[in-house]
Every structure is written in structure tokens, then in C-alpha cells.
Structure 1
């Protein structure tokens, strides 16, 4: 074995000695620097990963324990309310009545004892219902507290409560049924609740009725049904039968359909073995299942935590470590480069020649005396440059052929004048047939086509842009029963100033499409007004519509989208009042073009009054189309 090792080592030493100096330096560099750096990075990454996970568990476990404490308080409220209600002797006697009570007693009961029962619910506003059920068919029901047992005797929990002989039964339900059965529509909406049910035995073993205390789950466990959506965590509560209750909108179960069954399976395993597995993965997503038992009511509270943000932070940390390693390597590489410049003179000459070639200077050849790696590299570099020159010549020749083919293709394309002439011919036919609407529409369309095709520069006169908008409005009014009226308040002197081509039309188009979007209803008196003013050498163009406007929230979201520095990958969903798209892609493009051509001091600003109007303010320098800036 030792002989074999010595032979392998001798072979490696021989092979290593024949390697070039550069190869040996690179290999030594990798072995000395990258090895320890990689080990330190892996250790640091694992430590940080464990820290992030532990922090996520501690934070969400704290929230779970706080919610559990709230639930325990609500349990005590419900138990106290039940104790206060069924311990009243007058209430017990009323439930045991087999005959109709005298009118005086009934009035006295209603004015005193019943008011005390009602006060229990008043002082505990989180309690939804306090109900007492009597088996006596002759007992008078007093809504909404005292009822006959026949109304609930068919409920599954009723028989189960009887079997408990006065012990508490906690029941979770998805609905809150109306005992009076006043309307079937009351059951159309889910109202999850938890009920404390207990048989009333006076004396012991003698059934005189049943008590029920209801609390809606959004009061019983508010974080489980909170309206504040936290995309990183969601609480569940499970009853003794492992049935889960949680919010239905923005739930993790929408994208992870196996989550509920996995929770139920782990709860069952916990009941049997007392062990709980906190980690869960589905569809490439990782979750933490934090569990807290509610032994008093035979239920369980869970906090399901999405690890998406945690993984993003871990990934960010990993990228920082990789970046630090890469930066460190580049630093050492630069140091090695400087040292090689002194040690390897011929290599430096070859490197300088390569830099000159990279900058575009003509390659005139290089002579390296002596052999070795540098001489061989110089030889191959000369061969490479000869090959590159040959390939460049071939590429230029191919590019010339491609340009020639492109010019031939352009000559074969249909001239834009052919389209204009065709529209004119169709227009003449329409006028001959006395179709004035079609003739006018073709005139407007032809004007728009000429304006779009004739793109000789980025700047046009305001007069041309306004004429293009007028053609657009006339064409769009063909579609509407109630046309849009375009009002212009522009002095003739301003019609000669320059604006960016197609800068006003997207704003007007946005108003036409979205300002009066009323879900199918058409509004009369629709107006778009354009005003032009100036101040201190700057031009202000105001485009106002009398549409439904924007709410302050939607206006803020639209401003954020327009002024965002980075490109958004998705548009904001939904629409504001009046139908303006929250994403504002058209307005954003116009704003960016204004800043690109005129500077960051110029651009768009939006103002709106909900239900009345929306105004877009465009600020740009007052410049004649000749390029001379006017005062």
C-alpha cells in the first residue's frame, strides 16, 4: 500500500513539475484561498440560516401564545356568563314550569330576571348569543334568550351534551343558524362560531334545560380571522374532531391544497404520541407549523408560517457571502497581476499588446525571445489575430450583402402613399354615395395615419399634436351614443411651440377609455378640456376630464407607478374610481419621455376629485420648433 502511494506521489510530482508556472500559481491560489474561504462561508451560511429560522419560530410562537392567552380569556368570559345565567334560582324555576305562569309573575320575570340575563350579554359584547332551552312545551319563549328545547333537539351537539351529564361541551360550527327560522337568506353567509353547551340539572341528575353561549370565531380568535392580511403567516383553530377553521380569503390552502389534510394528520399523531413535526413542504414551498394545544376546550391552535421571506433573506445573505468571496478573489487576483507584471516581463509585453488590440489598434505583430509558456502564448496569439482578421473581413462582406438585400426589400415594400391614395379613393366613393359619416371618418383616419407614419423627429408643433387628438376624438365618437366634446383653450402663439410627438394623445386616450367607465352605463355631457399656460419660461398643459375621478388611495398608487425609478414587473391590479388603470403604463411612458428629452425637472402630475374630475398637468420648457427658447 505504501509503495502504491509513493508511486502515485511520484507520478503527481512529475506531472506537477511539467505544468506551466501560470497553471501552478492558479492551482496554488485556488487551494490556499478558495478552500478555507469556502469552508468559512459554508459555516457562516449555515449559522445564519439557523438563526433566521430560529428567529421566525420564536417570533411566530410568541404571536401564537398571545393569541392562546386571548382565547383563554374568552373561554373564561363564556364560562362566567354561563355560570351567572344558570345559577339564578328564578331562571331555574322558570325553566321547570310545567304550567303557564300567572301574568303578574311573567311580567315580573321579564322586568327583572330577563333584564339581568340580557345584561350579561351587554357587559360581554364579544358574546354573540346567550340562550336557555327548556323541555317544557308550555313554557313561554322570550326571544332572543329563552327557547324550547324542541328547536335544537335535532342538533348533533344536543344529544352529546346530554351524555356529558352537566359537563361542558365545546362545539365549533361554520354557521350561526336562526332559531326563529325567519328567513332562509340568513344562512347564505358563513358565520363560524364556537359554542359552550351544558345541561342544567337541578337537583343533580334532574334535567331542567340546556344553556348555550355562542361567540363568533372572529371575536374568539381574532388573529385567525383578522382583516389585516399577513402573507407570511396564517392561524388555524381545530376542534376535537380535527376540523379546521380559518379565514377563507387569501388563505395558504388556495395554493397548497394538501395543507389542511397534513395539519389534520399531524394533529391526530400528536393526540396519539405527543410528538409534533414543525416542518412542512408542498409544491416547492416551505412552511412552519407551530402548534399550541387548547386543552380546556379540546381544541388546538396553529400558526402556519410561510418561509418565503425567510428564504429570500437567507438567499440574500448567501449572495452577499458569494459576492464577498468573489470580491476577495478579485482583489487577490489584482495583487497577483501586479506581481506577475514585475516577475514576468515578457508576459507583460504580451498583455500590453493584447490591450492595444482590444482597444481597436491595428495588430503589427509581437516578437518574444526565448521559449516557454510566454513564447508559445505569443505564437498562438499571432495565429489567433490572423484568424480574427480573416473572420472580420468575411463578416464585413456578409454585412454588405445583408444591407444590399435589405435595400432591395425596402424597394419592394408598398409605399405609404399607396395607402393614402386608397383612402382618398374610398372617401370619394363614400361622398358619391352621400355617406358623409364614412367620408369624414376616412378623412380623420387618413390624418392620423399620416401623423403616425411621418416620424421625421421626436418633436412636433403643438398644433399638429392637437389636430391628431381632434381626429382621434372624432373617430372614437363614432362608437359612442353620447359623444365626447373636446374643448380647447389655447392661444395661437402656443400652437407653434414644440412638444414631443405622441405625448398628449396617450393621456387623452386614457381619459376616453377609462374616465367614464361606469360598468356599462353611458354618461352624457362628457368633456375633455385642454388648457395651455406659461410661467417663468415653462409651459403647462392641462388635460382635464369630467369623469368619475380617482380616490386618494388610487391617486397615490398611480403616482407611485408613474414616478417609480425601477421598472415594475407587474401592473397594479384593479382600477380606481372612474376606471383609470392603477398601473398607468401610458402615463408612465409619457413621463419618462419628458424627463429623457427635457430633464428631470419636467414631467407629469395628476390631481383628481372623486366623482367630479381628473386633471393631468404636463410641464415642459417653452421652446419653438426651430429650437430657440422663448422667454
Structure 2
């Protein structure tokens, strides 16, 4: 049985193209199918969500408008002074007054509306006035003052109240279900005189909900403030009502035993009722089959075209392409000493081979040029940084001599001049070579001797040096910029003794140098900014220029030894600052 490798090598280029290009065609087509389905589903979902939200909002607006008309009927007693006068009375009422109120109620209810069942006024002493479109049978034994609607109206203190489905016994022969509009009757801030209650059937609500169309698998439901069903357009999905999150005013996805629903609800500001819209998710899934068929058809056509194009290609270019691929692999691994030799004829592959040879030669030349330029740039940057260091410490030392001359301290001038001469000789002689760490310590002792003379012995210096490390080699002018930073920036606001500690200790395979002072220190934000400035993560400092010397030293160390070495700043405001310097351990015997 031939191996897979032998099988592949013995196949014609036509079959190889088919086997190679088929995944390239199928993967984008599958991706396109999935992406199109996802986009289409999202668009349908958003459209359906918006339709549900807009429909529920529109229904709520129509419902508020309809109930507002009923609200205006409940203010009937306020427009008739005779009714108010009779409501303020107690005890038996005369026939004329009784007929007057009955007539006014009958006139109010017998308008062209079909949704009003009856209107009743319950006076506070129990007197009842009623008018109805049918032969009403009033239950005069009904304790209306204990009823929920009466208590709710009294608590609302004159504001209109809407109840859910009426299920009390105040009307014995109620012909059809109804809801009620209730309002307590009072004059300004006076006592409540009674209650007017209007019973309304559901023909008005049906006229609002009947034109609403969310799809064949949908429902619109009205719930009262106790989450009880007042009206439902149909009987679908009633079992999902307990699963609705009343506190969530966004679109909700609710699963039932047979379907998944898109649900949105809104609370009526006037009534406290909740209008709930429900739509089955199956409404969104229609039309996807057409999209899938279209995509599959297009995919089949593209696959067919690719196969035909692959068959038309010649297998004579297989070997040259394989040779070029092998040579490119060697170049990718860094071997530029390769060339394509099959350059006979004018075939396109031969032209590609010539272009490959020229490109390979040019890349090799460019790499050598870049390496040479980077080496020269590194050398120039190092020399430039060294030159920037010299004027910095020389200026500070000359300032110290000038200060001593002003106070007439000749002995101090001799000492500081001697120390300065040693420093300058060291700087001039050592700037282009490596130096022993011992020489750097001696150099910084000279510098600190000058500073101690200037400060009148208020500067205290402590050394903690590992003597074995002092024979190691390092770059010149390593410590002076750090110590200068302590003197000129760390102690500028310090009164009393000024302390500097210099420690040289080993760590792993390197040397750890610490310069610590008891100066002002830095805030956490300034410390973070300075460390970022040293790491080239910040272009400049916002709190001053004290980091320039440290930045130059950090750059010199990294140019010489690499990014694993350099400076780290540790400081706490009011507690001083510590500069940590990491350099490799280079023994004296390795020096050239």
C-alpha cells in the first residue's frame, strides 16, 4: 500500500490543484454561509425586537388616550354644582334631587359609546345613585366602604384610579366582564363626599388591540398592578407570564415548553397597568432556507470554476516551483548563499528564478550595510553620551571652587583643586576605554571630598564595598552622574545632615551598585514617570530636568551591555531616593 507521501508525489499537478484549492474554496464558503446566517439572524432579531417595542409603546399610547377619555367622565360631579350640593348632604334625599342626579348620570352614559356599562355615585352616608345601559340590579347590602376599589379611591385623595376585572357583588346581574374607573369626590381640601365609579366593558380595548399585528404566533396582554390578567388578545403563551421579570424594561427571551418567546412590557404611567407583547422566535426563522439555498448554489458554482481552472494548468511547472520553494526556505533560515540555476528559456518560472537570484543578492548586501550602519551608530551614540557627561560634572566642580574662593578658604581650595585635577585627569584619560571599578570609586571619593568641603562637613558618606568586585571592569564616569543627582536635586530642600551610602555587591553573574540618599525623595507618580523616561516609554519629564543625567547614564549602560542592565529608581517622598545600577561582572583578566 503506497504511503501518503508517495501518493502525493505521484499525482498530477491537475489533481494537486484540485486537492489544494478545494479547502481554499470550501473554507471561505462555509465562513460566508455562517457569517451571512449570523448577520441575517441578527438583523431579523433586531427588527423583530424593534417591532415588539414600537408596537407595545404604540398600544400604550392608544390605551392612555382611551383611558384619558374615561377619566374625563369621572369628573362629571365637579361640573354640576347641584350634584356637589347633594353630595355634601346626609340623610334622606328628596325625589327631585334623586331624579336630578339620576338624570344627569343617564345623560352622561347614554352617549354614542358602546363600552360604558354603568356609572354609579356612592355618597359617604351610603346613598347610591346609578344609571346603566341595561336593567341593572344593585346590591344595596354590598359593603362598598370595605371594597378594595373604594379604599384605593379614598387613598388616592381625588385622583382617578383604574381597577382590573370587576369581580365584586355590588351589581348582581352584570352581563359581561368589565373594568372600572373610580374617583373620590371632594371639594378642594375638604372631606371626601363620596366616590364615582364607571364600569367599562372591553369593546374599547378590543378596538385598540384588534389592529395590532405582531405575527400569527404572538399575543398582547394587559395586566393590572397586581399582575392579574385584565385583557388578552388571544390565549397564547399565558403560561409564560410568571416568568416575566417585571423590573427589566428591556427585551426578554423567555422559554416555554414548546417555544422561545421575545417579550417586552411597558408600564402605563396613568393606570399602573402593564402592557406585554409576546412573539414566537419561529417568526424570525422564516426565509432562512432561501438564503441557505442561494449560498450553497453560489458555492457550488465557484467550486466548479476552480476545478476547471485547476485542470487547465500544466504540471510542467511543478518541479521549478518546488525548487524555488526549497531555495526560499533556505533564505528564510538565513542561508543567502543559494541561487536558482535552471534559467534556460523564456518561461515565466525562469524569469521568477532570475528575480529571486537578484533579490537574494540584494538582501545579503542590505543586511551587511544595516549591520555596519548600526555598529557605527552605536559607537557614535556612545561617544556623544560620554561628551555630554563631561561638561555636566565639570561645571558643578568649578562652582564648588568658586564658592570656596568667595569665603577665602585657601586650604580648602588647595584640597578641592587637587581633587578636581585628579578627576579631570581621570575623565580625559579614561573616556575611551574600560576602567576598573576601583578607579570609579576613587573618582567619586574625590568628587564627594569636594562636596564635603563645600557643605562644611554636613555631608556624610558611607561606603559598603565588596573588595573583590573593585577589580572588575566597567565603563568610565559611572557613578558621578548619580551622586551629582543626589547633591543637586535630592538635598536641595534638606536641612541638617545629608547622608549618602554607596554599596557595591554581587548578584547572580553581575554587579549591583546602590547609591542611596536621605534627601527629599519623589512621589509615587514622579518615580513611575522617571522610570518610564529611563525605559524610553516617555518622551520627557513633566516635573523637571533632573532625570537627564540619569537618562544619559542609563543609555550608556544599555548601549554597552544590553537591555538587561541599567538603572532602576526607588523612592518615597520625604524618605530619600535609591538608584540601583546593574552591570555585568567583567573580570580584569578579560580586558583586552
TM-score interval, smaller chain: 0.3 to 0.5
Higher relative contact order (CA 8 A, sep 6+): 2
Under a length normalisation based on structure 1, what TM-score does the superposition of the two structures give? 0.43
Q: Could you say which structure has the larger radius of gyration?
A: 2
Q: TM-score, normalised by structure 2?
A: 0.45
